[in-house]
Amino acid sequence: MSETSRTTGEVPAMEVTDELLDKWASDPAGPVALHLKQRLIPVEGEGGVIFPPTYADIGYNIDTLSDGTQVATIDSVGSQANRIEPIFKEASDHHPPNALAALVPQIPINVEDGKNISILDAGHRLGDAIIRSTDIWEEARAAFERFLKVDDAAAIAKLAPTSLVFGVWDSRDTSAKLPRIVQSVVRAWDVDVLTRSAVYAPPADYADLAVFSEEDKAKAEGDSKNPLAKRGFVHVPAGSVLGGVVARGPIIRDVTVNLVALRRLDSEKNGDRLRQYVFGLSLVAATVPLDGFLRQGCLLTLNPSEIGKWEAVRRDGTRAPLNLTPEVAQSYARRAANLFGVGPNKTARFSKEKARADVADAGKKKQKDGKSKG
């Protein structure tokens, strides 16, 4: 025990070894989850205005608790997953060489001459429409069906292992569904919502330049739907619109690695190796430092006054601090990937015909379901 822990009573962090992680990947008596709580802060400092995502029909996603506290979603679970998953992409013209790319199969999807989309950019992962529209769909479907029939997820891990890390639901075909192992979300507590107003002023008086008449100008100013306003030829005032939030409480990022969901993964050949491989990828995803630029008006950093710590959460609710770092996670992931065997890289080809057929099949299914209900 360190001198600090003796004098403060703080429990020393548990050293994380490959042997310990191997055990936790399969032992039902091990922790049920690993958890990290990070306190974030706007680059402007405490009380800085930040902009949450805006959703259709509702604006900001803000929940009001029974005591009146307002909690704003700053980055959703799905959005966080989509930000993390590309860390496994191979190098490109826009990305530097990436050692993490060797941990997963690299599958670019050729959508047209010279243009590729990585499978790691597909929002619904292996269950995405773009996968159903390629020549690897039959392989993906077979992997889903094997999981459904014999509870074997190895084929999914060989083709698209991040589908096991961040979850996948093949809702439009086989209905295979696997839960997220890594979940991350950012919320701001006790927020006040701000508004803002603005007005666009054109650099010249186009009526005075005889582009249109003063009468046309008078009709257009203040009418955002008028073609002159839409094209920026007249003054266009913007009324009261959403102007961000101020968090009086903390801005918290919660990251959870669900070990119960991990242990439910199995393979007829070697379930331990499969779980260790997915666990390694999950630890890399959970520990990698993320860019805090979430959107315009929302640039966050860690709060240096309160550094988050990883904890192992036991079944009885007690917690043990862990010395879990990105370096430890990546070292374990490389070892586990070598033992399991990373699936081969391949290039998929997008097919317009397959995409059209998929849409047509969906229409037929909808028509059939409608008749059966009648």
pLDDT in tens, 333-352: 999 999 999 999 999 999 99
Q: What is the DSSP string of 69-101?
A: -EEEEEE-HHHHHHHHGGGGPPPBTTB---GGG
The structure's pTM equals 0.88
Burial class from Cβ neighbours inside 10 Å (0-12, 13-18, 19+) for residue 363 reads exposed
The angle that helices 326-340 and 271-287 make with each other, rounded to 10 degrees, is 150
Q: Give the single-character DSSP code of 120.
A: G
User: How does pLDDT run along the chain (374 residues), one tens digit per residue?
Assistant: 333 344 445 789 999 999 999 999 999 999 999 999 999 999 999 999 999 999 998 999 999 999 999 999 999 999 999 999 999 998 765 556 689 999 999 999 999 877 999 999 999 999 999 999 999 999 999 999 999 999 999 999 999 999 999 999 999 999 999 999 999 999 999 999 999 888 889 999 999 999 999 999 999 998 889 999 999 999 888 777 899 999 999 999 999 999 999 999 999 999 999 999 999 999 999 999 989 999 999 999 999 998 899 999 999 999 999 999 999 999 999 999 999 999 999 999 999 999 999 998 765 665 555 555 55
CB 156 within 8 A of CB 147: yes
Please choose, from the candidates 117, 119, 116, the residue with its C-alpha nearest in 3D space to the C-alpha of residue 140.
119
Identify the three-state secondary structure at position 121: helix
CB 158 within 8 A of CB 105: yes
Q: Say how far apart CA 332 and CA 317 lie, in whole Å.
A: 26
- Dihedral sign for Cα atoms in the order 280, 122, 168, 255: positive
Q: Say how far apart CA 128 and CA 141 lie, in whole Å.
A: 12
Listed in sequence order, the residues at least 6 apart from 85 whose beta carbon sits closer than 8 Å to its beta carbon are 120, 121, 162, 165, 166, 285
Listed in sequence order, the residues at least 6 apart from 340 whose beta carbon sits closer than 8 Å to its beta carbon are 157, 270, 273, 274, 276, 277
